[in-house]
Amino acid sequence: VSFPWQKREISNFDYLMYLNTLAGRSYNDYMQYPVFPWVLADYHSETLNLTNPHTFRDLSKPMGAQTVERKRKFIQRYNEVEKNLSAQCHYCTHYSSAIIVASYLVRMEPFTQTFCSLQGGSFDVADRMFHSVKSTWESASRDNMSDVRELIPEFFYLPEFLTNVNHFELGCMQDGTVLGDVQLPPWADGDPHKFILLHRQALESDYVSAHLHRWIDLIFGHKQHGSAAVEAVNTYHPYFYGDKMDLNNIKDPLIKSTILGFISNFGQIPKQV
């Protein structure tokens, strides 16, 4: 049987939204917001070449395994089980959470207020704020062991979230950079509309169409948990697997509130589709 998506009768964007909905994710819940993949690895070229495989992220691997060195460190963590961890996993942070969603959309209301309330009433330290697509990719794919975030749908249709249209005072980084509009890759020519257009073209490209099912396996499919997830370097703290934890059977209110707090702060694995 050939499905409409396989025959390319519906777009990759629409298919991903469909899967997110099936998995119980919704724009109405920051803790279970729709999750979309990083699709590009090129944030430095003057022009974007969508026929070159090296332009793209490896969709068969989670964000924690995008480089050989990073993958090795996370496997080492899994095998060692750090002293302060109560459970064996590769990642103690998540690829989608309320704070990740609010940080991406912080320049737009009502997300500005949401972000501030999650941060205890104010903006975060400027150096930790979302300010550059390139540096966020480098953090999530290579540099920061506590950052494995993926993207949200807005990266593929909403240029407004990339501009500080409300002139919020987002602070000043240690190197003196005053935060304003999000810094875009050279190939976007400083134009949020061009960024969104090219980014959407990348999502719908032949390369992504041919490899997207591998990412779907990691996030929504059989590599989400169990031995296939271990093999794929794709296991998260047990508290993230909300539907696997029967909270009704946990009698200790302290443990129960700890788990609920963990999920609300750090995110939740989608329901398996």
pLDDT digits (tens, 9 = 90+) for 33-48: 999 999 999 999 999 9
Res 119: pLDDT: 86
d(C-alpha 51, C-alpha 206), whole Å? 8
Instruction: Give residue for tokens 């737009």.
Output: 108
d(C-alpha 36, C-alpha 29), whole Å? 15
Res 264: pLDDT: 65
pLDDT digits (tens, 9 = 90+) for 188-203: 999 999 999 999 999 9
**Measured on CA atoms in the order 249, 251, 253, 259, is the torsion positive or negative?**
negative
Res 240: pLDDT: 85
Low-confidence ranges of the chain (pLDDT < 50): none
| Helix, coil or strand: residue 205 | coil
Res 92: pLDDT: 87
DSSP 184: P
Phi, psi of 40 (to 5 degrees): -110, 150
Global pTM exceeds 0.85: yes
Q: Is 248 exposed, middle or buried (0-12, 13-18, 19+ CB in 10 A)?
A: exposed
Identity (one letter) of the amino acid at 13? F
Asked if CATH classification 1.10.1540.10 holds for the domain at 3-266, the reply, yes or no, is yes
d(C-alpha 97, C-alpha 267), whole Å? 4
- Which is nearest to 63 in space by CA: 154, 146, 130? 146
Q: Is 246 exposed, middle or buried (0-12, 13-18, 19+ CB in 10 A)?
A: exposed
Check: CB of residue 198 under 8 Å from CB of residue 144.
no
